Structure 1
Amino acid sequence: MTWFPLVALVLGPVLLAEALLARYEVLLYTTGWRAPATGLPPGMPYARGADPGRPPAAYLVYLDGIGKRRFTDTRDGGQLVKALIAAAPELRVLGQVQPYSPLAAPLAGRPVWDRIRRHAGLLLFLHNVMQIFVAADRRYRPLYNRAVGAQIAGRLRLAGYRPHSGVPVVLLSYSGGAQVATGAVDELHAQLGTPPLLITLGGFHNGANDLSRAAHLHQLTSAHDRIERVCAWVFPQRRRVFRRSGWNRARRAGKITVHRLDPATHLGRRSYISPDAYRPDGRSHLDHTTDTVLALIRATRPAGPR
């Protein structure tokens, strides 16, 4: 175990620096020193799927896990989003939201981070991990929630969403994206006048955010998902003993429904979004996840205009 002190010596300063830098964006947002970005790269639509000239059945916002660093990238190359659009042309789907940036700015394209990626790609991973913990920190959580909630609301408006129209808004989140999704509920409700429907896939979140203004939360999980099980150990608010946490209040109010996607795993060749791992019924894990998400969305009835 002589290697352990060396690893700690190397990673310790890196983790400390990341912990400090992770707060930088939310503080810039709060002080107003920098305004959040609103535009997208040339040629990139604000949403895909249903005809923007007609109200879709629902708007679906996809919040990816900690690997996201561009407008377009996702951990599976966008296969889940593509499958959802192909199977549900009635949806308007947004996948370009930056859940780990209060300023709505992707890491890719920043000169400093591009250099870091060439020499120490692990830091990009650590950056988004630390952003989750900033979003979960009670000192910064309200600020982070307001920043990213406003980003999502702004993107929805640009994609054609009309506040108070009653058209459902669905936040589909993978892994750490669940921390952002649960935190965005109040801001979306305030700006758009609709209670968002949350669908978490292997959700990694602290359970502290208030879900009283959410329409419902569907927890897609698996007994083989070790990372989500670790989440309950890292964040005690997810445990039943913390009865006053937002998660447990929502559970008692009947706002949380658990759906098992066994035998899927969080990552790897048998993950929730793997097109190459198959279930006993012959469907791939990707197809099963897609079918489950769409069934939950289609079971949601529009609230009607207010």
Structure 2
Amino acid sequence: MTDFPLLALVLGPVLLAEALLARHELMTYTAGWRTPATDLPEGMPYARGVDPGGPPDAYLVYLDGIGKRRFRDTRDGGRLVEALIAGAPELRVLGQVQPYSPLADPLADRPVWEWLRHHIGLLLFLHNVMQIFVAADHRYRPLYNRAVGDQIAHQLRRAGYLPGSGIPVVLLGYSGGAQVAIGAAGELNTQLRAPLLLITLGGFHNGANDLTHVQHLHQLTSAGDRIERVSTWIFPQRRRLLRHSGWNRAVRAGKITVHRLDPATHVGPRSYISPEALLPDGRSHLGRTADTVIAVIRAHRGATAAPVSATTGPPALAGPVAGHRVRR
């Protein structure tokens, strides 16, 4: 206990500085002082998967958790993206979006942050954590949503997406990436007029964003995921009491389906994306997560391809995915 005041003395100024830096980048974008990055590193494709010569069944944008620092890196070294591409060759997959930078500027490409990565690596994670809370803050949320939504829309167009084409766009948000994915939906609808499907994996989000423009949201979660559970505690909009929050309105509209991936944890050797942790059926946690995401997308495609009745509305999703609608 004697070390706690010292720890607070050290971390307090660091957290304050991070909070100011996170807001500064958003303000820089909003004021137009810097133009967001638009080009990828030489030789890096804007999307992988189905042959760009033909239209895919859907575009999938993967928004990683707080470990995202570069265009290429992901929490698991890219294994989830690779598994999705291998298991669903009909998809065109984008994994390079920078969900924690309104300027689409990877942290690892900034000289100061590169020095910090070698000396105080924890600050890289703190920076992205602070960006999540900026994105969740009601004062900055509309600006952040527009900034990252614009970045995603631009990357999709560079990957071949034609606005108004009717091809679904799937946003897969892991951890804090869920906050960004849900927030970007409105801007994507405005720019691309695309059918939007959202999938959250251990989603850490505040539940305040409007889901009107989303066809459906699939929540992949686990009883062993303590970090996602924390977000339901600290953000009141995720609780039933606030009936008019974006999340609770979507629940009442039947737009949210929960899929249990027990006993996976948020991070660590038994996480959702662990290739070592095995299930009784012999699949790894990574394999099951990829299978579930693919099944959800294919079921959605099958459902939306069916005729829509003017009286009954769109058909319910069907497919080999075990899930249940949230009802309140």
Structure 1 residues 26-75: Cα deviation after superposition (integer angstroms, max 9, x where no partner): 10111111111100000000000001110001000000000000000011
So what's the TM-score if we normalise by structure 1? 0.98
Give the share of equivalent positions with the same residue, in percent.
78
SS in 2 for 1:218: strand
Structure 1 residues 213-268: Cα deviation after superposition (integer angstroms, max 9, x where no partner): 10100000000100011111111111111111100010111010000000111010
Corresponding residue of 2:245: 245
Corresponding residue of 1:68: 68
1:208-287 → structure 2 map (5 Å cutoff): 208-287=208-287
Tell me how far apart the structure 2 counterparts of residues 240 and 124 of structure 1 sit (CA, whole Å): 34
Structure 1 residue 301: Cα displacement: 2.5
Contiguous gaps of at least 5 residues in structure 1: none
SS in 1 for 2:273: coil
When the two structures are aligned, how many residues end up with a matched partner? Answer: 304
Q: Determine if contact 1:67/1:75 at 8 Å carries over to the other structure.
A: yes
Q: Determine if contact 2:166/2:195 at 8 Å carries over to the other structure.
A: no
Corresponding residue of 1:174: 174
Structure 1 residue 120: Cα displacement: 0.8
Greater than 2 Å deviation, 4+ residue runs: 301-304
SS in 1 for 2:107: coil
Corresponding residue of 1:196: 196
Report the AA paired with residue 266 of structure 1.
H
Tell me how far apart the structure 1 counterparts of residues 225 and 117 of structure 2 sit (CA, whole Å): 28
Tell me how far apart the structure 2 counterparts of residues 142 and 185 of structure 1 sit (CA, whole Å): 11
So what's the TM-score if we normalise by structure 2? 0.91
Corresponding residue of 1:104: 104
Tell me how far apart the structure 2 counterparts of residues 62 and 145 of structure 1 sit (CA, whole Å): 16
Q: Determine if contact 2:46/2:158 at 8 Å carries over to the other structure.
A: yes
SS in 2 for 1:42: coil
Tell me how far apart the structure 2 counterparts of residues 152 and 195 of structure 1 sit (CA, whole Å): 14
Corresponding residue of 2:324: none
Tell me how far apart the structure 2 counterparts of residues 219 and 301 of structure 1 sit (CA, whole Å): 18
Q: Determine if contact 1:188/1:195 at 8 Å carries over to the other structure.
A: no
Structure 1 residues 4-23: Cα deviation after superposition (integer angstroms, max 9, x where no partner): 10000000000011011100
Corresponding residue of 2:46: 46
Report the AA paired with residue 121 of structure 2.
G
Structure 1 residue 174: Cα displacement: 0.4
Q: Determine if contact 1:135/1:180 at 8 Å carries over to the other structure.
A: yes
Structure 1 residues 261-284: Cα deviation after superposition (integer angstroms, max 9, x where no partner): 001110100000111111111111
Structure ranking higher on relative contact order (CA contacts 8 Å, 6+ apart):
1
Report the AA paired with residue 260 of structure 2.
R
